[in-house]
Chains A and B, each alone.
Chain A
Amino acid sequence: MTNVLEVKDLCKTYVVNKRQNNVLCNLDLTVSEGEMVAVMGPSGSGKSTLLYTVSGMDKMTAGEVKFCGKNMSDMKDNELAEMRLDDMGFIFQQMYMMKNLTVLDNIILPAVKSKKTRESRSETVKRGQDLMRKLGIIDTANNDINEVSGGQLQRACICRSMINSPKMIFADEPTGALNRTSSEEVMEELTKLNDEGTTIMLVTHDAKVAAKCSRVLFIVDGSIKGEYDIDRSKPLRDRERDLNNWLLEMGW
């Protein structure tokens, strides 16, 4: 299978008050097409920093990140922005949306901005509506973002991340701000997307969420301490139990 993401010797250092803080240290990682990788680790281990750095949202201090074969360390800000717009999708823990737009408008915004396809506005709207229908939130299309629940909003964020048919979706604790039911619904949608072939990398603290992925990376102090491949043919409960055992071995 083709590698969507290749990371070599990735380092990320923050300097705060003249003190150097090495968040990611010589990290190597590969994500293949169609994979669903969960990144786990204790708070402050560098999970989110890894996600933001490999997705080009934050600059790396050293190392090499290749996305679909393109070396991101050589790219300029505008090229990175274009790559995020056309080839990547993002889901955040907080359901960030443009406040003055409706749910549907928020979803289609990246498509309107993108020059990837030359489709008409009505075609874009139709695709947005299809995605909303698929995720069961079509009724909220014309609602203001303050008029929908957290779960609905997060599903709208998933729709937005999907609107430009990205090669990979990055999700930073996508269920972190949701209740259990909403969380399960959102994960169900992400799993479905992955089953349809979308590569996903997500950061989570929740073993139940991670158990739905195909691989789990465990990060401690900016380095990958261990990797765990999940057999998705097993029932979810078994996967969750096995993962928890492995996490215990890792010192979780």
Chain B
Amino acid sequence: MYPTILKKDLKRKKTINCILLLFIVLSTMFAASSVNNIISVAGGIDSFLDKAGVTDYFIISGGDTADVENVLDNSKYVSDYKREEAVLLQGKELFSDGEVIDEDLRLSLVQSVDRLELNIFDEKDEKLTEVPKGKFYSSSTLADKGGLDKGDKLTIKKNGAEFELEYAGHAKDAVLGSNFTGTPRIIVNEADYKELLDNKEAGLCSIGLYYMNTTDMDGVQRDTADICSVLFSGDRALIRMTYILDMVIAAIMLVVCVALILIAFSVLRFTIGLSLTEEFREIGVMKAVGLKNISVRTLYMVKYLGLALVGAAIGFFLSLPFGRMLLLSSSKSMVLSNDNSIGISIVSAAAVVVIIMLFCWSCTGRIKKMSPIDAVRSGQTGERFRKKGMISLSKSKLGAGSFLPLNDVLSQPKTYGMMTVIFSICMVLIMVLATTANTLRDGGLVGMLGCIECDLYIDPGFDDVSDIQTGNVKVGDRLAEMEKKLADNGMPAKITLEGGYFLPVEFGDKKLNLEMMLNKDTDTADYDYVEGTAPQNVHEIALSTVMCEQLGADIGDKLKITINDKQEEYLLTAKFVSMQQAGKVGRLYQDVDLDYTEMDQHMECGISFDDHPDRKTILERQEKIKDIMDNGRVFTVGEFVDISTNSADTIDMVKYMVLAISVIIILLISVLMERSFISKEKSEIALMKALGFRNSSVSAHHSVRFIICAVAAGILANILCLPLTKLIMTPVFSMLGGDSDIPFKFDPLEISVVYPVLMAAVTVIGASLTAIYTRTIKASDTADIE
């Protein structure tokens, strides 16, 4: 008898069974792909660094590398080290289609595949062992920014010499491949590398990359702090930190996955409950003819098991491409392979089936409470001494069209509350990402980049820092020349340059090669400090909170700093937060005796107009200065923050992906929930039509309920947006050196209008289109309703 009942049930209740099946498919798809991704990402970076063979510490050294090798050979703290050779290029020396490949790119390394000591992987996560002649691989940051596709040409132009290479694909480079590193590696064939290096016209020199293992990190840092040729150094933690954006994206996708699982299970539970409510009459009849509770329960359990198995199987297959899509952005630069992905997906799908059966077991518990009376009374009557409606039509001033949907929503808070929460989750995820991206493009963050706020910023156009160091380019003259040009064009302004100087800093038994910021044309008092007072003389310094913690130094302590080969004591007077170099920076007093020739790196020059113009004038001047200076790289403060943090675009990309997923989810939920409501409320729809409600009024009644939920969700998401952004993003900014008081940029138009309206529109479109189905229910159906 059971198979016959089941067969008829599946055939007769096609709609509700199809809805249930769809939600099971969604749950399985989300669960299986998310669990897989969680496992892949959780140990992702360490596993990637291990696979790549990254050591405890690394140094990039220019000039005479013999110094480095001498120190490393003699250091008792270095257990072993390996060396790679590379050629350093300026970003402006790389061209694609006749144009500079990426205006924001400062440096790039060219290396022979045969001279690689670290493992670098291709798109298929296979170790890169050979590169065909004339071709090159590069990390995705170069390809993405330069818009390179396989087969595109890259031209290296140096001192009149030109080399053309063809892009063969992107490489996953653990040390220099992340978004934050900003120095992509170009891996070429050995013959091409030699040709490049041996070309006398180009006059390229090799530099050294040293990767070392150590038993004492402080010892290595102390031993290498005095090496003058060090261009950059860092430990494994620093490399890990450069993947923070990928980790954040992966973490966001995990949050999205968890939200999707919760959404799917909530809706699933609702649908199971609803399908059982629909069957009260049959359950009552079965009980009336003498079937035991367990028999009735088994019948439904068998049905749901069948649906769960079919749904889980479909969901499992869909989870494989879906999971890959979720990790697309992270897996582009990292090897995030999971050897057991199929097995984990199968286990996840099985877990979904178990959870569904537990839901069913709990929901079918209601069968015990259902009696033959439910069948007799059509499940509608029965003693229930709790008021359903919270508002009364007789006391309300609302018309029927507004009152009925509002009353429905208030009368069934669980159902509509669940929908509101689901819509809010989707909205808030997008809002958090939008607020983060806006913050990373907002001038409010400029203080945390170790700069003061200027009206505009301009790339000074120094081709090479080495030209400054050798004195070929006089920074002071260049700045004065720029100021004169501006004054001649009616825009008198002060131009300042924020320079970075790597100096050996010693405190107690700790010694580091630390980047000290110095701006000769500003006052140290103009910068923000979280503690203490700004340095007042040349023997006073400020340090970032991160550095104070690392060195164990506090305000009032004296640190030894070697400047111009002379070691002196400097008083620490203030602490500040900075997201430069992950917060590992200090600040020198403006009058300290350090020549520009000692500068190791610099930021864009700040332009502060003497006449303090308004925003509109600043924007006009920005365009004017681009023309006068023949330099397209003139930025507003927001644009300066954007190019300095270099993360907003990636966050935006994730935001659009989450937006697309949310739109699909909201559309699906709206359609499926509305279809469930129509199925559940067939009698009321028929009654409304019998009473004289038009088809359009009935459709509107159903759609307005979704609008109410969407509006409530929009309000809820708006309220939660800033607190949640702070909660989620502050730790991320802290890891980058920021403090807990990040000035998050809340864009009212985007957050309070664009996304809520978009989501409400999607909801209404889904619900309204589905509500058209109510037209198939006729007024005369009142006679056929059970």
Q: Is the CB of A146 within 8 A of B389?
A: no
Nearest residue (CB) in A for B394 is A125
Nearest residue (CB) in B for A77 is B695
Nearest residue (CB) in B for A112 is B400
Residues in chain A near residue B697, CB distance under 8 A: 113
Q: Is the CB of A96 within 8 A of B692?
A: no
Q: Is the CB of B411 within 8 A of A128?
A: no
Residues in chain A near residue B691, CB distance under 8 A: 84-85, 90, 109-110, 113, 160
The secondary structure that dominates the A interface is helix
Nearest-neighbour CB distance to chain B for A112, whole angstroms, equals 5
Q: Is the CB of A81 within 8 A of B689?
A: yes
Q: Is the CB of A78 within 8 A of B694?
A: yes
**With A84-B692, A100-B411 as contacts: A52 and B779 at CB distance below 8 Å:** yes
Q: Is the CB of A100 within 8 A of B394?
A: no
B778 at the interface (CB under 8 A from A): yes
Nearest residue (CB) in A for B403 is A112
Q: Is the CB of B380 within 8 A of A146?
A: yes
**Number of residue pairs across A and B with beta carbons under 8 Å?**
123
Q: Is the CB of B389 within 8 A of A85?
A: no
Complex formed: what's the CA distance from A86 to B411 in Å? 28
Nearest residue (CB) in A for B686 is A96
Residues in chain A near residue B387, CB distance under 8 A: 144
Residues in chain A near residue B384, CB distance under 8 A: 144, 146-147
B488 at the interface (CB under 8 A from A): no
Residues in chain B near residue A144, CB distance under 8 A: 384, 386-389
Q: Is the CB of A100 within 8 A of B689?
A: no
B407 at the interface (CB under 8 A from A): yes
Complex formed: what's the CA distance from A94 to B689 in Å? 16
User: A-facing mask of B361-393, CB < 8 A → 1, else 0?
Assistant: 000000000000000001011111111110011
Q: Is the CB of A96 within 8 A of B394?
A: no
Q: Is the CB of B690 within 8 A of A98?
A: no
**With A90-B690, A98-B684, A99-B388 as contacts: A52 and B394 at CB distance below 8 Å:** no
Complex formed: what's the CA distance from A48 to B394 in Å? 33
Complex formed: what's the CA distance from A28 to B87 in Å? 101
Q: Is the CB of B403 within 8 A of A100?
A: no
Q: Is the CB of A100 within 8 A of B408?
A: yes
A121 at the interface (CB under 8 A from B): yes
A64 at the interface (CB under 8 A from B): no
Q: Is the CB of B397 within 8 A of A121?
A: yes
A114 at the interface (CB under 8 A from B): yes
User: A-facing mask of B392-424, CB < 8 A → 1, else 0?
Assistant: 111011011101100110011000000000000
Complex formed: what's the CA distance from A92 to B689 in Å? 13
Interface residues of A in 100-142 (CB under 8 A from B): 100-102, 104-105, 108-110, 112-114, 121, 124-125, 128, 142
Q: How large is the interface on A (under 10, 10 to 19, 20 to 34, 35 or more residues)?
A: 35 or more
Residues in chain B near residue A150, CB distance under 8 A: 381
Complex formed: what's the CA distance from A170 to B386 in Å? 33
Q: Is the CB of B392 within 8 A of A102?
A: yes
Residues in chain A near residue B690, CB distance under 8 A: 57, 84, 90, 92, 96
Q: Is the CB of A121 within 8 A of B407?
A: no
Complex formed: what's the CA distance from A226 to B388 in Å? 48
B129 at the interface (CB under 8 A from A): no
Q: Is the CB of A113 within 8 A of B400?
A: yes
A172 at the interface (CB under 8 A from B): yes
Residues in chain A near residue B683, CB distance under 8 A: 96
User: B-facing mask of A138-181, CB < 8 A → 1, else 0?
Assistant: 00001010110010000000001000000000001000000000
Nearest-neighbour CB distance to chain B for A160, whole angstroms, equals 8
A189 at the interface (CB under 8 A from B): no
Q: Is the CB of B392 within 8 A of A100?
A: no
Q: Is the CB of A81 within 8 A of B692?
A: yes
Nearest-neighbour CB distance to chain B for A14, whole angstroms, equals 11
Residues in chain B near residue A184, CB distance under 8 A: none
Residues in chain B near residue A109, CB distance under 8 A: 393, 400, 691
B489 at the interface (CB under 8 A from A): no
Nearest residue (CB) in B for A85 is B692
Residues in chain A near residue B694, CB distance under 8 A: 77-78, 81-82
Residues in chain B near residue A105, CB distance under 8 A: 389, 392-394
User: A-facing mask of B660-696, CB < 8 A → 1, else 0?
Assistant: 0000000000000000000000011011111111111
Residues in chain A near residue B404, CB distance under 8 A: 98
Nearest-neighbour CB distance to chain B for A4, whole angstroms, equals 17
Which of A83, A88, A146, A172 contacts B783, CB < 8 Å? A172
**With A96-B687, A98-B687, A114-B692 as contacts: A108 and B408 at CB distance below 8 Å:** no
Complex formed: what's the CA distance from A88 to B692 in Å? 9
**With A58-B780, A85-B691, A98-B684 as contacts: A142 and B392 at CB distance below 8 Å:** yes
Of the A-B pairs whose beta carbons lie under 8 Å apart in the complex, a sample of 6, sorted by A's number, is: A53-B780, A96-B683, A104-B392, A109-B393, A144-B386, A147-B383
Enumerate the 5 nearest inter-chain pairs by beta-carbon distance, A residue then B residue, closest first: A85-B692, A57-B779, A58-B780, A105-B393, A100-B411
Residues in chain B within 8 A of chain A (CB atoms)? 378, 380-389, 392-394, 396-397, 399-401, 403-404, 407-408, 411-412, 683-684, 686-697, 778-780, 782-783, 785
Instruction: Using A96-B684, A100-B407, A112-B393 as known contacts, list a sample of 17 further A-B pairs with CB atoms less than 8 Å apart, ordered by residue number in A.
Output: A52-B783, A56-B779, A57-B782, A77-B694, A81-B689, A83-B692, A84-B779, A85-B693, A94-B782, A100-B411, A100-B412, A108-B393, A110-B692, A113-B693, A146-B380, A146-B381, A146-B382
